[in-house]
Amino acid sequence: MNHSKCIQDFNRALSIDPNLFEAFLARACIYGIQERYAKAVLNCNKAVSINLKSVRGFLYRGALKFYLKIYKQAAEDLTQAIELDQACTLGFYNR
């Protein structure tokens, strides 16, 4: 997978519709794969602001904050994911 091409595709999609939740979350995943965690968190922030009930957004942002060693905020995001979905085993496991 060509990550730089993926980023360009997501950028193009967001220029057409700046409220595409999935595009922000997918771009965050690519940045996470590239170990650009701060950029990934920024994209998760935007995704979560678009969809405040996104369990995936909170889970991924929590994991990214863990990699950035922001443990308290990571736990808060994982707790938020658990509050949104009581059966979120990934939230419990990662917290």
Whole-number pLDDT of residue 95: 86
Instruction: Dump pLDDT digits (tens) for 9-58.
Output: 899 999 999 999 999 999 999 999 999 999 999 999 999 999 999 999 99
First to last CA, the chain: 30
pLDDT-derived band of residue 1, with 50, 70 and 90 as boundaries? low
Residue 37 near residue 68 (C-beta atoms within 8 A)? yes
Structure tokens at 16: 């057409």
Whole-number pLDDT of residue 65: 97
Instruction: Dump pLDDT digits (tens) for 64-90.
Output: 999 999 999 999 999 999 999 999 899
